[in-house]
Chains A and B, each alone.
Chain A
Amino acid sequence: MSFSGTSPRLRKGKKPAQEPVQQDHWWKVMCLTGVDYFSTLGYQPGIAFLAAGILSPLSTFVLVMVTLFCALPIYYVVAKHSPNGEGSLAMLEQLLSGWPSKIVVLLLLGFAATDFIITITLSAADAAAHIVQNPVFVDTLHTKDPMLITLILLTSLGAIFYKGFKEAIGLCFVIVSCYLVLNAIVVVHCLAVLPSNWALVTNWQSHLWSQYSSVPAMFLASAIVFPKLALGLSGFETGVAVMPLVKGAPSDTEEKKDGRIRHTRFLLITSAVVMSIFLVASSIVTTLLIAPDLFAPNMPANGRALAYLSHKYMGETFGTVYDISTILILWFAGASAIAGLLGLVPKYLPRFGMAPAWTTAVQPLVIFFMLVSFAVTILFKADVDSQAGAYATGVLVLMTSAAVVAAIKVWNRSTAMRIWFVSITAIFIYTTLDNIHERPDGLRIATFFIACILLSSLLSRALRSTELRIEEVEFDDMAKRFIEKAGCNNLGEVRLLAHRIGRNNYAEKVETARRVHSIQPSEGEFIFVEVEPTQVSDFGEARLKVSGYESDGYQVLRCQSPAVPNAIAATLLNIRDQTGKVPHVYLGWTEGDPIANVLKYIFFGEGETAMLIREIIREAEPKESKRPFVHLG
């Protein structure tokens, strides 16, 4: 999807957002999304015919209407609100907060991954279909097994990404232009052939009238099969994702990117209109000129309807040129999907507790995605039609989320807008549910990805939970004074008392602590330490600010951190370094099952705090005599 300026490989260890991106004219950037969107022409006419039969042109017309009046308006709105390529996923995340936002991101990430993975496998499978059915290639290849060829295509794709993918907008531009021109020639030629084969048209008409009594009945039937065609909508999310690459107007500033938004809208409209024309025209010619049984699996037109026509009506040479162009664009669609995955996944994984450094390791990710692609290909036997449902599910879920976001954004504009966008959302929700119901494969694959994300984040959390992670602790003047004062006390020991933030029962807490830990007043005062838990984020984990407060005559140290045990451990180690004395911290037992507490830590980052503090300190300080004392009582 997004060929984001630099190769993903170069991104290692850097913050993606701050990199300068090489920008280009919108019509060139359109070709980036085009490899995904326009390449659909390779298989869409065939899928439409298998789903709708002779109604295919009408169903495609419904698809075009949905494209122009539902999908396009949604992304017209989304483009305005995500000038930096955030897309609907980030917009939805911003609208929510806390756990709901995390869950939504997790679900959408699962479906987005499905969308991209099936883009890879479906494109490769369709490219294989074009290779297998081409007489010239088959003679040189000595194999007619589409599965084998698909796997070879996938391997070469993965190998290139493993070495590091240098994207080239220029190359995409050439590929997409060639493909569109060749398609235009084929479609126009086939339309020109129609008058001389008028019998096919009348035949089709009589078939249609024998099955359906009226035109509304035909449209109704077409609308019902529409969800099966929905994968023709795939390019829009990509369209907004590549926004950072679109050159804006010279008057654009960091805050106001009107020029870029305008140009992206040109991009979206142009690609939607071009695609609509091609979709309708190709569905007409393929339905009329290809015998119905040739669309079936293992038949010459399966997965390559337009290529079949080009061979039949324009000769083997032109057909082969057309095949090469199609294979290239499909192959590039897979490449753009991998680039999209590599851009998307590392952006969101830190939300689930994974270290940013881990997620930017591109090569293991590429291997993982390639293995999944192999599995999907083998699972679906490299069949184009059976993968379509899973693909459509991914596309539709993303579009539904975009529709929801767009509806929220235009809510206050006017009643008409509100009704329009709410009905769009309803259409997409219905289409998505219908699609999931008919073809649950997409849901299954998405569930697999969601499970993978959850599992790896649990694993990473378990492994990382006891790393100190905080590199720097900064005390304000008040906090420093508390610590100095404690150092001059009767025994000169610094004693921290962990206290849950928000409870103001300091006196009671001190009394309990004195009794439980048997620290008499002559042995020194306690300093309370309170950590306010915050959201886990990519940055800002390495620095901890501790400030001192007086509350009812008690000394309180306060700080904010996503991980309470880590913050307390870092504070202790820092006090030790500054005072040269080993400090103490006193904590109470957490209620609950010890096992449950460990599991709670893995899932939510909270649990038996004392044990975790102790473990963090143990790992950070190898010398036992220098470890701060953690008391649990």
Chain B
Amino acid sequence: MVAVVDAKKTQKQGKDRVFAGAALMAFILASVAVAAKFAGVDGAIIGAVVSIVGSVSILSKIRSGQTHIVDVELDQKAQSFLDQIESGDIRLLAHRVSAKDYRLREEEARQRNSIQIEEGGFIFLEIDTTDPNTGKSVVEVKGVVLGDYMIFRCKCQSAPVAIASILLAIRNKTNKIPHVFMGWTDAHPLSYAWKFILFGEGETAPLTRDLIRRIEPQESKRPYIHVA
């Protein structure tokens, strides 16, 4: 059952989600039915509890295991952005691919996070998650300049994996601890938990943080993740 949901996850389509949910329900109902057959009403209750708790914990374990960081390749341009920032912190600013207004985003980020002009600037980070090509285990980061703004562009199925991998790669290359700034998403935390368990998606910031936390046990060496 687990394998079914797992395989379907890679094709993020509504139908498959329904199927995954149905498969999970079917599994739970089947275990209840089997338990009821052999042990009556008590068996059914125990069967329900065990199968729900069991499948949720197995799925969440699988989810955590699935997500591991990948290799990062920075192109020349991207590398040059990092070289430009000699003193001061490296700050990535997560930016939705579809949103075009860089000036507004930067102003907002400066005001929110109280980053003054003299403290330095941001490098925008745009991740295209729509590409279904999953074969690659390397994230290629392209440096792009648009007007006054520096942008990292890459393609990766999972935003948290991409962000965590890029942050750690930057840290290893520059020996500086980079920052990333993200926004809050408008949804209830419970819906993330549920989405994460069933489909392996969730709020980007906590998942990124979780990835980094696992890979870098030393707190002082972990890249900073800001949510505001």
Contacts and interface: CB of A to CB of B under 8 A. Distances in A.
B224 A633 contact: yes
Interface string A595-633: 101110110000010111011001000000000011111
Contact of B189 (A491, A493, A612, A629): A612
A632 B228 contact: yes
B196 A629 contact: no
B197 A611 contact: no
A171 B72 CA distance: 83
Nearest to B194: A598
B207 A594 contact: yes
A519 B42 contact: no
Contacts of A519: 114
B55 interface: no
A491 B179 CA distance: 23
Contact of B228 (A466, A602, A631): A631
B228 A629 contact: yes
A86 to B, nearest CB: 33
A519 B206 CA distance: 23
A588 B196 CA distance: 22
Contacts of B189: 466, 598, 601, 608, 611-612, 615
A558 to B, nearest CB: 25
Leading 4 A-B pairs by shortest Cβ distance: A594-B206, A632-B227, A598-B193, A633-B226
A593 B60 CA distance: 10
A516 interface: yes
Size class of the contact patch on chain A: 35 or more
A365 interface: no
B188 interface: yes
A196 B190 CA distance: 77
A631 B188 contact: no
Contacts of B114: 491, 493, 517-519, 523, 584
B79 interface: no
Given A519-B114, A589-B209, A595-B197, A630 B190 contact: no
A229 to B, nearest CB: 26
A591 interface: yes
* Interface class of chain B by DSSP: helix
B112 interface: yes
Contacts of A610: 227
Contact of B226 (A594, A602, A611, A631): A631
Contacts of B228: 629-632
A595 B206 CA distance: 9
A610 B205 CA distance: 12
Contacts of B209: 589, 594
B97 to A, nearest CB: 21
Nearest to B206: A594
B184 A618 contact: yes
A597 B203 CA distance: 13
A88 to B, nearest CB: 29
Contacts of B192: 594, 598
Contacts of B206: 594, 597, 608, 611
Interface string A68-87: 00000000000000000000
Residue among A493, A594, A631 with most chain B CB within 10 A: A594
Interface in B180-223: 184, 186, 188-190, 192-193, 196-197, 202-203, 205-207, 209-210, 213
A14 interface: no
Given A595-B60, A632-B228, A633-B227, A615 B188 contact: yes
Contacts of A630: 184, 227-228
A581 interface: no
Nearest to A515: B224
A483 B180 CA distance: 30
Nearest to A466: B188
